[in-house]
Chain A
């Protein structure tokens, strides 16, 4: 136990002190912050220069006012249009918006004219268009004698309220959305972390084999101790990174956004102006409130331990397999590809099945895959927020534990022979023979 502790400590400390680890761990939160800052800067710029625009509206279509955001100021000049245009040349106005009198109230097409040598920016012209459209709507309603109050009662907003029959869990219209988001994010993270750190285990085994340091080591420790020490040490590095990210990313974003004077709401506001998001402000707020309640309502005290269990189970099974493969490869790192492929295959499958389970968590594909070892460590975490039946979770966990122990046993058999074989890559046939040796 003392030796395995030393091995774990070496694997952990050399990795954590490594520059690449430090850079990825601490730069990733900064990178995310940078992304947010740049994105919001890009989204807010372009509409920041103020423009004075004269409006020529002889037939009073606009009823003397036009509102197209904070950056565009309109002045109604109903004197001779040529005089106004001259004032554009003098610099008083950026341009003159000429509102053409309406000939046909029922026409669905309508054009205004903008007199200027400077083109309107895209967001400016779309703001102006939307503002005129609104005014024109009022104008048409009036001209066609339609009751505005009656009209507003025609459109109905529909919500489906889920009511559970058996369970006493509170569900709202946001439950599915929030569950999907949690499942999707955790499932993808599982896939990514298992792949990333499994591959690190493999590289580390290969490094020791190529360095021949393994020969010195296994005259001191058992191959199994060496392999497990490595798997656990690298796994702890993975956990460290996740924990640091979970803590650092929100802190850095919070500090960063307040430092740059950014408000996440600004982002939604700008998108609103651009017309990318038709939801209005209050609706967004309500939604955010609902998401928050949903997040608080999740059974985190059950979810988090389960997620940890699936991470450990999945990581150990894959890392052991990667270690076995690392031991079987010869000198050339490129040779590993042919051997890693069969290990990557179930992992990639599980990721795709997991992503489909986000939208259909109770499909038979998702249900079965969430119980099959090697797939379950990604698929079940996706399904967990949707509260799958307890028997499925239990079957999945029991199978996973049995299979993981079996994988470690299998990998240890391959590993102890593989690390002493030099010169060429082992075939699957040879590895099978090592297992039964």
Chain B
């Protein structure tokens, strides 16, 4: 089955006074995928998101949602949770969600049934009459999440969705993100926290100073940036002066080795050499660089 692009951004540029916040950016988000939008603070993530949500318009280039070029009209099948959370403090949770859902084009009955679905799901049915100001930060975050997805949007943009959440609620939201993906929604997940990206995203784009510096599937990128390092656990004694062709060996504690190969080194070659030396191997693992390492490396190189 061919997956279509929910969102397509082509050669988009946005200039504020004299600096280019977003500079000739092109990317595509596939239907039913989780897309990581990464970058250090001030890289242009928020500007890009604001253009997708039609809060601002690009100076040049086009953004299309479901094949339609975004114009002045606000897209209804889009859910946006900004990094700076925002709800009416003095409005009741239920009324607030009803209002936001209706603004997104739902009828009152549709909105009511969707809200009660989420209330049941999060087990917060007693919150309808509570005011946001009475809720804790984590609690209002849940409400904010419901506000983002209540109208079953095709494309959901989550800007740093886990800040301020405890591990339990983080997992709760994470599970819901996966559920939404399963249900066919596409999610843009903007963050500067790499460990979350690795767990969640299918594809990522890394932007810095308004430009894309990395774009692709998480596994492919990690493979591309691997440095041929292998982790080995063995039993017994290691022969003295052991050497492996085309690699350096570092002895670790508890019968472990770290072998750093040269570019192009194959794992089977290393294994073969070890086996020939009669070393009993218990574990063998290629160590791929974390996105965080790649991120730092890439960002540092663009600063250089």
Contacts and interface: CB of A to CB of B under 8 A. Distances in A.
A9 to B, nearest CB: 9
Contacts, number: 57
B74 A211 contact: no
A221 B74 contact: yes
A217 B85 contact: no
A213 B74 contact: no
A219 B74 contact: yes
Given A220-B104, A221-B74, A222-B72, A211 B89 contact: yes
A220 B76 CA distance: 7
B103 A211 contact: no
A215 B56 CA distance: 11
Contacts of B72: 222
Contacts of B54: 219
B183 interface: no
A358 B160 CA distance: 61
Contact of B80 (A3, A219, A420): A219
Contacts of B85: 212
B88 A211 contact: yes
Contacts of A220: 74, 76, 100, 103-104
Contacts of B99: 6, 10
A208 B99 CA distance: 15
A393 to B, nearest CB: 39
A218 interface: yes
A222 B75 CA distance: 11
A14 B91 CA distance: 8
Nearest to B79: A219
A357 to B, nearest CB: 41
A219 B78 contact: yes
Interface in B99-143: 99-100, 102-104
Nearest to A215: B82
Contacts of A3: 103
Contacts of B90: 14
A243 interface: no
A212 B78 CA distance: 18
Interface residues of A, number: 21
Contacts of B81: 216
Interface string B256-270: 000000000000000
A212 B82 contact: yes
A232 interface: no
A213 B87 contact: yes
A211 B89 CA distance: 7
Nearest to A10: B99
Say what secondary structure dominates the interface of chain A: helix
B142 to A, nearest CB: 15
B74 A222 contact: yes
Interface string A73-86: 00000000000000
A382 interface: no
Contact of B82 (A6, A10, A207, A216): A216
A211 B87 contact: yes
Nearest to B80: A219
A214 interface: yes
Interface string B56-76: 100000000000000010101
B84 interface: yes
B147 interface: yes
A217 B91 contact: no
Given A212-B84, A420-B55, A6 B74 contact: no
Interface string A1-17: 00100110010001000
B169 interface: no
A215 to B, nearest CB: 4
Given A219-B74, A219-B78, A420-B55, A213 B86 contact: yes
A420 B74 CA distance: 17
A6 B103 contact: yes
Contacts of A219: 53-55, 74, 78, 80
Contacts of A207: 88-89
Contacts of B88: 207-208, 211, 213
Given A6-B99, A211-B88, A211-B89, A216 B74 contact: no
Interface in A201-253: 207-208, 211-222
A216 B150 CA distance: 13
Interface in B41-58: 50, 53-56
Nearest to A3: B103
A3 B101 CA distance: 11
Nearest to B91: A14
Given A3-B103, A219-B80, A220-B74, 8 more contacts: A6-B102, A7-B103, A212-B85, A215-B55, A216-B100, A220-B100, A220-B103, A420-B55
19 contacts: A6-B103, A207-B88, A211-B87, A211-B89, A213-B88, A215-B55, A215-B84, A215-B86, A216-B86, A216-B87, A216-B100, A220-B76, A220-B104, A221-B74, A221-B103, A222-B72, A420-B55, A420-B56, A422-B84
Q: Which 8 A-B pairs have the closest CB atoms?
A: A212-B86, A213-B86, A219-B53, A212-B84, A215-B82, A219-B80, A220-B103, A211-B86
